[in-house]
Chain A
């Protein structure tokens, strides 16, 4: 039957060009940035930026907690959505989980300030705060997903609502009081390089899930063309609920790690984490329009983020300037994304 087919010379043109992955662009950006800071370091401070193991490990430690969130946010963005509630979910899960993770003793005295002292819920096994925290995140994500999928309101609005609500829950839980004095086993969750290990496990797991399972395939399909996905028999609504639930749960993981690391949980924890996580994803080539991106890209985006923060600190750029520059970088990444889309449109 093949002889019936005709060759279309026109089609061969664009198809011959290489399939250039977005991740490579991000990787070049990462290398370029690192080299710029390295050079600037030698010129301005007479010191190497990269040849400093403790700086690099602090850098990756700083970004891994938000990196865990970014893994979930990446999946949400691939479906064409957005999640603004991650930071607040971090705050809510941190404070709720911590209240189940308190030790009954502090400095050799009974710790009667524990949130559940009256109930006797102190020195609980570490699985209790972990499961409570994960359940909280899952619930918040589930609500996000259900509202978005079934009421069809924009993800931006739905998760903005959750952002305010979850922050409210965090403040209400202890009426604004910080919760501290975790058990040793809970402290272990965020100590040393544990946040990096947890990030790595989460990132590898979801990289495999996105690239090798039905879930991943459908996530990309929905972001690419929701109507086609629906026509192909994919239950778009159920899938969205699953994606947002996973994102919520990963925010909870970040909340647990952050609380454990800080040894105390406050209602304000995780503020603006959602924007940093979104920025990591977008810098790593995840398209805000949906359908494109990967965990590898987000990982590179996370490293770029880390290099920028750590590089500016290394060059002793004031923290205020750092924030301003960070904001500009986020906008630049989105502009670059839109530019890429437009160029594609012309190529098509």
Chain B
């Protein structure tokens, strides 16, 4: 059986009196693509914010790459090999593709502190390789991101994650703001990642997409994980039943 990349035990987050996430036990194995689904406010994004260190959890344990971790911020998570594609893209619109890909971890020729000289050629080359590896096609790398379509921008954001993520990529609604064609483009990129054996957590509202791309589907409802199903053991209406609370695998959640 493949190695476990990420595992949470009893992960809990309270915002004041609101229990946004309760006792979440979750696992991703090497090369596995896991989808997280659930209604708005079910705790999906809260869950991601806890594991990436964007927020500090109220309780529970997180294991990443075989050891227990306590990320103080998203940078720690990134350093450990976990990359997140944020819902709001997090790209600098006026910078070109290589500049965005390497933002915050630029390659330099000469180290002069803040005035270190950039190694633009190396970054460009690495960008070309990164885009090729993820199957992202951008006609002109030297154009500012602003000039690109939503799909291309998302492609850049994903390529950035894929270039640096050694172990796990998390995508929070990567196609929420995209058109049909652009969504297809991003889905192809995700398939490419699968073919390369990169583990992925995909948060999505789109069940068609989830069934297309994921190996396993985890359903959140009101802060609880109510189902953890292999794709083959379930179908769309079954998932909807879990999302809406008609069915549950979680007895603790059912008693609420």
Contact = CB atoms under 8 A, between A and B. Distances in A.
B108 A214 contact: yes
Contacts of B146: 344, 348
B135 A1 contact: yes
A40 B94 CA distance: 39
B191 interface: yes
A4 B192 contact: yes
Contact of A8 (B105, B108, B185): B185
Interface in B87-106: 88-95, 99, 103-106
A7 to B, nearest CB: 7
Contact of B181 (A8, A209, A215, A223): A8
B45 to A, nearest CB: 15
Interface residues of A, number: 41
A286 B147 CA distance: 18
A10 interface: yes
Contacts of B132: 1-2
B115 A214 contact: yes
B90 A212 contact: no
Nearest to A216: B118
B117 A221 contact: no
A297 B83 CA distance: 37
Interface string A231-256: 11110000100100000000000000
Given A15-B148, A215-B114, A4 B95 contact: no
A11 B138 CA distance: 9
Contacts of A19: 140, 142-144, 147
Contact of A228 (B91, B185, B189, B195): B91
Of A17, A19, A220, A221, chain B has the most CB atoms within 10 Å of the CB of A221
Interface in A49-90: none
Interface in A1-59: 1-2, 4-8, 10-12, 14-17, 19
Given A221-B95, A221-B103, A14 B78 contact: no
Given A1-B192, A5-B137, A229 B92 contact: yes
Contacts of A5: 135-137, 185, 188-189, 192
A227 interface: yes
Contacts of B106: 214, 217
B240 to A, nearest CB: 30
A213 interface: yes
A231 B83 CA distance: 11
Contacts of A347: 147
Interface in B1-53: none
B114 A213 contact: yes
Nearest to B144: A19
Interface in A272-328: 291-292
Contact of A224 (B93, B139, B151): B93
B46 to A, nearest CB: 18
Contacts of B92: 220-221, 224-225, 228-229, 291
A4 B132 CA distance: 10
Contacts of A229: 92, 103-104
Of B115, B116, B182, B184, chain A has the most CB atoms within 10 Å of the CB of B115
A239 B147 CA distance: 27
Contacts of A227: 88, 90
Interface in B122-159: 132-140, 142-144, 146-149, 151-152
B74 interface: yes
A227 B89 CA distance: 10
Nearest to A291: B94
Of B91, B94, B95, chain A has the most CB atoms within 10 Å of the CB of B94
Contact of B118 (A15, A217, A233): A217
Given A8-B185, A19-B143, A2 B90 contact: no
A154 to B, nearest CB: 21
Contact of B148 (A7, A11, A213): A11
Contact of A214 (B114, B143, B151): B114
Contacts of B105: 232-233
Interface of B: 74-75, 78, 86, 88-95, 99, 103-106, 108, 112, 114-118, 120, 132-140, 142-144, 146-149, 151-152, 181-182, 184-185, 188-189, 191-192, 195-196
Interface of A: 1-2, 4-8, 10-12, 14-17, 19, 209, 212-215, 217-218, 220-221, 223-225, 227-229, 231-234, 239, 242, 291-292, 344, 347-348
5 contacts: A1-B135, A15-B138, A212-B120, A220-B99, A348-B146
The 5 closest A-B pairs by CB, nearest first: A232-B104, A291-B94, A233-B104, A224-B92, A11-B149
Given A5-B185, A15-B147, A228-B89, 14 more contacts: A1-B132, A1-B134, A5-B192, A6-B188, A11-B151, A15-B152, A19-B142, A217-B118, A225-B92, A228-B91, A232-B103, A234-B104, A292-B94, A348-B146
